[in-house]
Amino acid sequence: MPLIDNYRRAHDDLRISVTDRCNFRCFYCMPEEGMNFLPQEEILTYEEMARVVRITTELGFVSYHLTGGEPLVRKNLDVLIRKMLEIQPDMDLALTTNGVFLPEMAQQLYDAGLRRVNISLDSLDESKFLLMTRRNLLGRVMEGIEAASKVGFNPIKINAVAIKNLTEEELPRFAKWARETGHIVRFIEYMPLDADKTWNREKVMSAEEILEGLSSEGDLELINGHPSDPATRYRYKDGKGEVGVIASVTRPFCEDCNRIRLTAEGEIRTCLFSAVEHNIKSLLRGKASDDEIKEWLAEVVRTKTPGHLIGQKEFVQPSRTMSSIGG
C-alpha cells in the first residue's frame, strides 16, 4: 500500500525531527532569544519514533533523515539509529547536524550504523559564521568535520544557506575547499522560514547566481541525479570537486516530492510550508493499531497540496520556524 497523493506522487522518504532545541541561533532559522522549547513529555520517545519508522517501512519507505533543531543535543541518538536500522537494515539513513558535537560523537554514530552525515556550515570566515549562527564555534564545526571524516563518513556533505549581499564570497571559497577536501558542498536558497520574518525575495541568491559564483573556480558539468533529490549536482570538469544547489525557491522540485515530515512533538507535515498538521502522537499514545495508523497516513498524504507558493501573493509563511519543523 504505497502512499500516493492526489497528484500521483509516491512517498518513500520521512524526515524525523528528534528535538526542537538547538545550541545555535542561526538568524534565518531561530530568533536570538525567546524560543519556547517543548517540555520533554510532549516530545515523542525513541520508541514512538521507531514505531512510525516500522509502520512507514511497511508502507514502502526507504529513505529516512534525522534532523531538528540540533539532533545531537538529544541524548543517546545512537539508540534511535540502532532501532531504525534493526527495522530496515538497508534503509538510506542520513543525519543533518551543525557539527558541534561531532568531535565527541562521530565514532558513536558510526558504530551505531550511520553512514551519511550532512553538516551545515554557511561560512568559512569566523566573523561571518558568528554573524549567521550567533555562536563563535567555527573551530568546533571544523573539528567536527575532521572527526566525521576520520571515523569513515564518506562523502561528507556540507550544506550552506546562500544569502544575497552576505555570502557571495563564500562561493569561490567553498568551491576551492570542496576541490581540496573532496567534501560535497551544497548551497541552499534562503527560504521564508525564519523566526524574525525578515525574509524577502531580494535576499535570495538564486541557483543561477550561485552557479555563476562557483564557476569562477572552473567549468562545471551536470551530474544526472535522482528526480526526487532536491539538490542539483555538478562536478568540476577537471574531475576535482563536487558542488550542488538546492533551489527550493527559484526552481521548486514539488512535482517530484516524495517526502513527509514528523515533528518532534508528533505532527505529520506533508510539506515544509504546510499550513496544516496532522497529529500522529494522539494515535501513537492512544489505542490505534498499526493498520489504523497506516490508513490514517494514507489519508493524510492524499491531502498534500501540489506545491509551495513562495514568491506568489497567496503564499503564507508557516507559523513555525525551520528549527521547529525539522529542516
What would the grid cell of residue 100 be? 558541534
Which listed range, 66-74, 84-92, 221-229, 239-247, lies at the site for ligand SF4 (CB under 6 A)? 66-74
20 CB contacts (<8 Å, ≥6 apart)? 37, 38, 43, 68, 69, 263, 264, 265, 323, 324
Three-state secondary structure call for residue 133: helix
CB atoms near residue 315 (< 10 Å): 11
Residue nearest to ligand SAM (CB): 327
Which listed range, 64-72, 111-119, 140-148, 299-307, lies at the site for ligand SF4 (CB under 6 A)? 64-72
Does the protein bind ligand SAM through residue 64 (CB under 6 A)? no
Q: Min. distance of Cβ 293 from ligand SAM in angstroms?
A: 26
* Residue (of 318, 314, 313, 305) closest to 273 by Cα position: 318
Does the protein bind ligand SAM through residue 167 (CB under 6 A)? no
Does the protein bind ligand SAM through residue 20 (CB under 6 A)? no
Convert residues 106-145 into a mask of x (bound to ligand SF4 by CB under 6 A) and - (unbound): --------------x-------------------------
Supply the DSSP symbol for 192: S
Backbone Cα Rg of the chain: 19
Convert residues 173-192 into a mask of x (bound to ligand SAM by CB under 6 A) and - (unbound): ---------------x-xx-
On the question of a cis peptide bond just before residue 155, with omega within 30 degrees of 0, the verdict is yes
Q: Which element (helix H / strand E) includes 212?
A: helix 207-215
Residue ranges that bind ligand SF4, judged by CB under 6 A? 22, 24-26, 29-30, 68-70, 98, 120, 322-323
Q: Which residues bind ligand SAM (CB under 6 A)?
A: 22, 28-29, 67-68, 70, 96-98, 120, 159, 161, 188, 190-191, 193-194, 322-323, 327
